[in-house]
Amino acid sequence: MTNLKIDFETAFSQVQKETARILTKGPGLVSGYTSYLSNATGKMMRAKAVLACSMDKEGLVSKDAVYFAAAVEILHLATLVHDDIMDDADTRRGQVTLHRKSGDRVAVICGDYLLAAAIKELTHATQDDKYKSFDFSKYVQSIAIGELRQTVNNKNFRLNDYRYFTIIDGKTAALFEASYHAGSLAGDNDLKRVNLFKKLGRFTGIIFQLTDDCIDYENTKETAMKPVLSDYENGVITLPLIHAFSEEPELIDKAEAGLLSKEQIIEKVEAHDGVGYTHKVAEKFYKKGLSILKSLDLCGLQEEILTGLLQKAYVGLKG
């Protein structure tokens, strides 16, 4: 298949259609469940990143990027299905989660099916040697390891910043990096530029995770479109709380003894400005991302989209 070039809006529309096809047109048994997810695909930020990174100077997008973008989005949905099971979440993106609607066993199997579908989607791209450096399985493994690290550190109130970042590097940043990596390869960038795109993706993913960490302390369920004030109750230790514990270490013993309520935790995070600390960490990654964007010398629309994604991560943290 010839790797054609198309405009961004057409490419994004094709990604939407392709993801809908995967969710609704698979084997009848599974599509009866996965089609439900087509109403909760979100803003497809990772897909937009894939397409933007593949743009040429005229703002045209590689046709291969459509398949990479669809694969990334389907993999993302698979991780969300599994996340909701582990978190026992009731809602996701404003609708009842699949596991709550159809049961844990069905949801696990559907998540596994979507993972396989994402891998299969990559086979539609041009078989080109330039894609050999894109190891999709490596990113899938990184996501799984990140999730496992979070699980084994459940209720580890002695978690430090370094170990926290090893968790989010896998569970969140890896998929953003994969998006920017795939797109930059589809756009015929040289190795130096590909590595810069990968770093930009990783930094953007880290900022988005920092945003998510703060939602528990800044948003309501209605604005977050998912459960809030739940991380601590579920034993998930995030950066605002890690900072509060580092400022008042005696809290750790109380937490381990089960003597800190959710309300007390929120109070301590506020007292030690855990959210403010997280803002400052995010700002460092934001500035690194801006520096990379400047060095890449992107075309107008490409710069607009990728800068917008970085700003959405950062400004969203403050909003």
pLDDT digits (tens, 9 = 90+) for 39-91: 777 889 999 999 999 999 999 999 999 999 999 999 999 999 998 898 888 88
CATH number for the 5-318 domain, one of 3.40.309.10, 1.10.600.10, 1.10.287.70, 1.10.10.60? 1.10.600.10
Per-residue pLDDT of the chain (319 residues; tens, 9 = 90+): 455 799 999 999 999 999 999 999 988 888 888 998 887 778 899 999 999 999 999 999 999 999 999 999 999 999 999 988 988 888 887 788 889 988 899 999 999 999 999 999 999 999 888 999 999 999 999 999 999 999 999 999 999 999 999 999 999 999 999 999 999 999 999 999 999 999 999 999 999 999 889 887 875 544 544 455 677 778 899 999 999 999 999 999 999 999 998 889 989 999 999 999 999 999 999 999 999 999 998 989 999 999 999 999 988 644 3
pLDDT at 189: 94
CA atoms within 13 A on the CB side of 315: 6
Q: Which pLDDT score is estimated for 224?
A: 47
Q: pTM of this prediction?
A: 0.92
pLDDT (tens digit per residue) in 228-260: 567 777 889 999 999 999 999 999 999 999 999
By the 10 Å C-beta count (0-12 exposed, 13-18 middle, 19+ buried), 261 is classed as exposed
pLDDT score recorded for residue 229:
60
User: What stretches of the chain show up as alpha helix (H) in DSSP?
Assistant: 8-24, 28-34, 45-53, 63-87, 98-102, 104-121, 136-152, 161-168, 174-186, 191-218, 221-224, 239-247, 250-256, 262-271, 274-296, 300-318
Strand partners, 61: 6
